[in-house]
Chains A and B, each alone.
Chain A
């Protein structure tokens, strides 16, 4: 049994304690926006926030998370896709296949929360998620747009 606070709601989940948070989110909590890509914390598709910090949930056993810690997934980042990072992503039409993008967005949102004006070097160091479609340059541009508030509309 694990007691977790996910997107502001505390829940008791019947699961083996060594189960990675990723799979609890996807299979017990029904939140499939967080993706499985590698299972070894290499690709970042599973990135969520734990107390605001971008965390690769595929190697995080639920037993290591306290009930009061705040887990936020892509579904909880904003109620309606209105987080500045999501708006910037829409304005720049960033995704291609989109599979890695929830993890990218969560990593970017955490970066901007901690560093409101990230430089290229900051982005290179902090955004190490893998995108096989190759959206990196648009991810970079969208992070900068979100940081300076310039992304307002799609077009």
Chain B
């Protein structure tokens, strides 16, 4: 029956790089109604297909959005498979296929720098199991014990009898072997493919225009949609005059989408957008028209001294100790709303019929996209399917599925005709899921010798989980607000021992939708803590590095990355004439990171000359890609530090494009030196943690240069003269 067909292996393989026999190493897009390719090879197991021509197809469940997870995960499978890396290609299984096969590929969600660190065990087991099945097939053919066979780069050898064969020749038989009950994974010290700084698998097509992103998708007879949702949060559509644009070129229909949005569907996207801009829409702006950045700031300021707060970490009795110290320092910091501003605006394409709903989408969570398609289409989930496309940036925004819901609602108006929805940049800026807004009030006490004896860090502000994943709240508390600050979380614990400590959160949730923004809460937590420690060091008359080291005796891994950057930047020697330095360290996403920045400020103009970063991710699967993630993290973190700010007026975001929401460009970019120092024994993420140390290292260097403490970001709002 057709329902089963929709998620069968037959349809699944249509989309695979293997089936289409592409030469490039990117993904090929599944197109509707295309027949099964003749050379489709059977899989050995869920993770591995070896074709007769020895091409190895590795299945990747996580989404590639630039972070290199595709290459890193393929390295882990290939390492255990012991195949020829030069013959490796990759493909995405579909979320529908995953569901139909009892989630054999595990979790598709791609966020929190979890791609490798939360699937390394089962993807390596997949590669190792496939290798054993290949050996078993060869051994059975030869009538020799499997234990006497060895493998090397896709070749199986039985030395005693002098026989050898290749994976491609026995793959068909291997797929029929019983999977091994147990596999032994290699010791990372024996890795030859994993752990190497290999080039990415997906570069070539990104240089020629061949790489297809969601916005580029073309399907036969496809229509295009442009959309506007009420720009005031909490508002909805009151009315619109479809007749006013009905005769404009290419226009097919004006569609209300849910309660909040209106879309114009036309033959091309430019015509749809042109008509949408001309469409008279009256919004019911709802209850939030009085909300401004100032009212939100007042709300947060009240929380800084509120009696009730959720406790994230405590030791001793901070309140008592703060009252009795020799010298007390206090400061208030703040971090504004940020937009993800992926270069590719949100988009999705849907083809709906009463029997089936198919969605093509650049998504960080294919399974969530599938669920959204099912809900919006009203069809059972096994009558829906999602085809993932490489993302033109994700940064957390594409974990949300609002655009999938929208495109399915629009496509339902055109059964049998595919519809592609692309948000304008303005829509993307106004309908974000913003980095939440918080303020941090920090109070610390030094004893007569300049030792930090007590610290209270009060965070006041917005919870992401309360808005996005209320099921993960713990008795009303948002545990991830304390990223990097907890006592013992393997995800990220505080790297200082302070005898009297209190870190707490007064939740204040303004009516601006928050979301996971690359680095999440580690970003502002590191700024608040690391800049304030710098303040305390200066108040104590101590070197900021020496001051930190005294608190870090129990935290050797935190200390190791801090020492590494200090040594590389030459902390113990004077900086070059006119240049000044700052430091920061934190742990997040399972990794230890530190940064040292060297800046100059002349005539009020900041120049960041140099940044040194150190990362201890436990195991380093691809050091070259880690370097790229670290460099990119500085761009993301410093964009927010220097420029990033979404302000609110009339209940809506004021910045609608890059002319008012500036980001870091080439001329701002410092030299970056990356130290990758994996200490083994754990698996940390690398896509996000360094973002958090970028801003505090630079802000501390700015203080060293100017004596000015920048406590409210972004820097563009301050004079350094």
Please report A residues at the B interface, Cβ cutoff 8 Å.
Answer: 16, 19-20, 23, 26-28, 30-40, 42-43, 45, 73-75, 77, 81, 86, 89-90, 93-102, 105, 123-125, 127-140, 154-155
Contacts and interface: CB of A to CB of B under 8 A. Distances in A.
A16 B249 CA distance: 8
B200 interface: yes
Given A97-B66, A134-B632, A42 B658 contact: yes
A33 B659 CA distance: 24
A61 to B, nearest CB: 11
B382 interface: no
B666 A123 contact: yes
B210 A97 contact: no
Nearest to A83: B207
Contacts of B249: 16
Interface in B195-236: 199-200, 202-204, 206-213, 215-216, 218, 224
Q: Which of B204, B216, B270, B341 has the most CB of A within 10 A?
A: B270
B344 interface: yes
A59 B270 CA distance: 12
A31 to B, nearest CB: 7
Contacts of A96: 66-68, 628, 632
B343 interface: yes
Given A40-B657, A132-B343, 13 more contacts: A16-B249, A19-B270, A32-B209, A33-B209, A43-B343, A75-B209, A90-B203, A98-B203, A124-B666, A130-B663, A132-B635, A135-B628, A138-B631
Interface in B284-319: none
Nearest to A87: B207
Given A30-B218, A42-B659, A90-B203, A98 B392 contact: yes
Nearest to A88: B207
B425 A135 contact: no
Contact of A134 (B203, B391, B634): B634
B207 A95 contact: yes
B347 to A, nearest CB: 10
Contacts of B486: none
A16 B98 CA distance: 45
Contacts of B183: none
A98 B665 CA distance: 16
B206 A133 contact: no
21 contacts: A26-B216, A32-B209, A32-B218, A33-B208, A37-B658, A81-B204, A93-B203, A95-B206, A97-B65, A97-B344, A98-B392, A124-B667, A127-B666, A128-B666, A131-B343, A132-B343, A133-B632, A134-B632, A134-B636, A137-B672, A155-B199
B212 A132 contact: no
A31 B209 contact: yes
Contacts of A138: 628, 631
A154 B424 CA distance: 36
Nearest to B71: A93
A75 B207 CA distance: 9
B342 interface: yes
Q: Which of B206, B342, B345, B665 has the most CB of A within 10 A?
A: B206
B207 A101 contact: yes
Contacts of B210: 33
Nearest to B624: A93
B interface residue count range (under 10 / 10 to 19 / 20 to 34 / 35 or more) = 35 or more
Contact of B343 (A89, A94, A105, A130): A130
Nearest to A76: B209
Contact of A74 (B209, B213, B633): B209
Given A43-B343, A137-B631, A73 B209 contact: yes
Nearest first, the 5 closest Cβ-Cβ pairs linking A and B are A33-B209, A134-B635, A97-B66, A99-B392, A134-B632
B269 A136 contact: no
Nearest to A139: B666
A134 to B, nearest CB: 3
A34 to B, nearest CB: 7
Given A32-B216, A96-B68, A154-B199, A132 B342 contact: yes
B395 interface: yes
Given A96-B68, A137-B669, A140-B666, A132 B208 contact: no
Q: Which of A30, A89, A131 has the most CB of B within 10 A?
A: A131
Contacts of B209: 31-34, 73-75, 102
A151 to B, nearest CB: 12
A31 B212 CA distance: 11
Contact of A89 (B68, B207, B213, B624): B207
Contacts of A43: 343, 658
B114 interface: no
A122 to B, nearest CB: 11
B390 interface: yes
A130 B199 contact: no
B663 A132 contact: yes
Q: Which of B209, B249, B391, B624 has the most CB of A within 10 A?
A: B209
A4 B207 CA distance: 24
Contact of B344 (A16, A35, A124, A127): A35
Contacts of A81: 204, 207-208
A3 B571 CA distance: 62
A16 B422 CA distance: 20
